[in-house]
């Protein structure tokens, strides 16, 4: 049995992409020549770009690039195991995923899970509270990092308006109360703003409940780095960067461990001294102590979407974006699910440049195993992201 539920949007932004006079183009050889692209992609890459541009044009025509706010309620089997989060890094503590929902209504067009296509039905597990209680009992006595939520935004309309996000936090409060010596902890990665933190269920806000978990919870904000005009297009239902940092400060004021930021994704063509300094100053003002940068990775079809959007902002930026991803020598530079990372040499220089500015702003910066291995960056140049038992120095659990 399933049930469609009605959701009320937290914020409504004007999506200016549908105001552009220039309609989407087919990305073919002539198009790349027009942009004066200096690399020649393989035939397979060109075919994927064309497929992506056809899908983009259809969604643009039907005004369906951003999916409708929707959700279906279903039950999850109590026998379904918690997934072990083994992505590309290693971690001295097991990382288990807390995924109450399939799909996400934030609708990021670079989404790591859906490759930007949010047309599939969003499914929220109605019995997730009971399911989680059952799983936590099974894992009693084992030390874990519980990751809420690697495959969706933990605090969005569906999880908040049904109270499921609140119930997940309540289950962890009860679990740690029953297991006071547990070394496990809950890791939250979110694009939430103040509105999400103050959302009430049965008289309790998300902020209230996270506060009760204070010494068992790590709260990370997810900050993207792109031209300002792209935020309402690429992250249609997310809080603004300013709202996310405001939420982080509020958490700190309530004694919640919230001094870390994942900077993802970084659109590589947007990096400049001014943009880096501007962001790092905002992070510093929000009392952020540690950062983990992650550059935009995407499928070639998804690249066609992002490239078309950026072309309306800056053709030269779109040109450089394509060149960083579609060169034949870059086709094996993929991180996960065949999501291509930008040119290795460019990325290595960019990572080291970010580290230089991080040091200047007294921000601790780390990278994951995959980035280190692919770019041959030593621990002396940039430390590794690991989970450490001491709360005083623990930078992160394992993350996307």
Asked if residues 279 and 263 have their Cβ atoms less than 8 Å apart, the reply is yes
Instruction: Measure the CA–CA gap between 217 and 144, rounded to whole angstroms.
Output: 12
Q: What are phi and psi of 249, to 5 degrees?
A: -65, -40
Check residue 359 and give its pLDDT: 97
Sheet order of strands, 123-125 included:
3-4, 72-74, 123-125, 101-102
Check residue 63 and give its pLDDT: 84
Instruction: Measure the CA–CA gap between 363 and 361, rounded to whole angstroms.
Output: 6
Q: What are phi and psi of 2, to 5 degrees?
A: -135, 155
pLDDT < 50 positions in the chain: 88-92, 387-400
Closest CA to 242 of 234, 231, 233, 253: 231
Per-residue pLDDT tens over the stretch 383-394 = 987 643 333 434
Closest CA to 229 of 115, 309, 322: 309
Q: Which CATH class is domain 70-295?
A: alpha beta
Q: For residue 257, say if its preceding peptide bond is cis, omega within 30 degrees of 0.
A: no
Q: Please tell me the total number of residues recorded for the chain in this structure.
A: 400
Instruction: Measure the CA–CA gap between 1 and 73, rounded to whole angstroms.
Output: 8
Per-residue pLDDT tens over the stretch 149-178 = 999 999 999 999 999 999 999 999 999 999
Q: Which tokens in the block code for residue 374? A: 């692919």
Q: Which tokens in the block code for residue 220? A: 């990370």
Asked if residues 82 and 103 have their Cβ atoms less than 8 Å apart, the reply is no
Radius of gyration (Cα) for the chain, nearest Å? 21
Check residue 313 and give its pLDDT: 83
Percent of the chain with pLDDT strictly greater than 70: 91
Per-residue pLDDT tens over the stretch 294-352 = 999 999 999 999 999 998 888 899 999 999 999 999 988 988 778 999 999 999 999 99
255 burial via Cβ count (<10 Å: 0-12, 13-18, 19+): exposed
In order of 99, 136, 187, the CA distances from 80 in angstroms are 12, 13, 21
Check residue 183 and give its pLDDT: 87
Beta bridge partners, 48, equal none
pTM here? 0.92
Q: Which tokens in the block code for residue 320? A: 């450089």
Closest CA to 206 of 215, 216, 219, 225: 219
């Amino acid at each position: 049995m399933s049930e469609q539920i009605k959701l009320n949007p937290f914020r409504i932004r004007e999506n200016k992409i549908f105001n552009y006079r220039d309609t989407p183009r087919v990305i073919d050889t002539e198009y790349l020549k027009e942009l004066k692209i200096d690399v020649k992609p393989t035939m397979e890459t060109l075919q994927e770009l064309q497929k992506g541009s056809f899908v983009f044009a259809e969604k643009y025509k039907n005004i369906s690039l951003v999916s409708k706010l929707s959700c279906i309620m279903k039950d999850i089997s109590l026998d379904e195991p918690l997934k072990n989060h083994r992505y590309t890094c290693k971690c001295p503590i097991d990382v288990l995923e807390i995924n109450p929902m399939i799909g996400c209504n934030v609708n990021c067009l670079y989404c790591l899970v859906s490759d930007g296509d949010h047309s599939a039905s969003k499914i929220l597990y109605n019995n997730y509270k009971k399911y989680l209680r059952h799983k936590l009992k099974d894992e009693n006595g084992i030390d874990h990092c519980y990751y809420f939520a690697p495959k969706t935004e933990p605090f969005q309309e569906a999880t908040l308006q049904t109270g499921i996000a609140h119930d997940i936090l309540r289950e962890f409060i009860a679990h740690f109360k029953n297991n006071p010596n547990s070394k496990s902890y809950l890791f939250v990665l979110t694009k939430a703003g103040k509105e999400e933190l103050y959302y009430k269920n049965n008289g309790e806000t998300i902020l209230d409940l996270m506060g009760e978990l204070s010494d068992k919870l790590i709260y990370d904000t997810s900050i993207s780095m792109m031209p300002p005009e792209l935020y309402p297009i690429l992250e249609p239902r997310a809080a603004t960067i300013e709202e996310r940092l405001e939420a982080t400060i509020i958490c700190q004021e309530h004694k919640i461990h919230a001094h870390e930021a994942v900077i993802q994704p970084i659109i590589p063509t947007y990096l400049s001294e001014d943009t880096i300094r501007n962001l790092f100053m905002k992070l510093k003002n929000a009392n952020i102590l540690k950062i983990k940068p992650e550059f935009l990775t995407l499928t070639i079809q998804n690249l066609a979407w992002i490239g078309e959007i950026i072309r309306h902002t800056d053709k030269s930026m779109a040109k450089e974006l394509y060149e960083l991803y579609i060169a034949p020598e870059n086709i094996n530079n993929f991180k996960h699910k065949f999501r291509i990372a930008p040119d290795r040499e460019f990325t290595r220089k960019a990572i080291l440049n970010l580290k230089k500015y991080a040091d200047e702003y007294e921000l601790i910066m780390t990278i994951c195993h995959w980035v280190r291995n692919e770019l041959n960056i030593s621990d002396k140049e940039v430390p590794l992201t690991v989970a450490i038992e001491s709360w005083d120095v623990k930078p992160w659990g394992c993350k996307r």
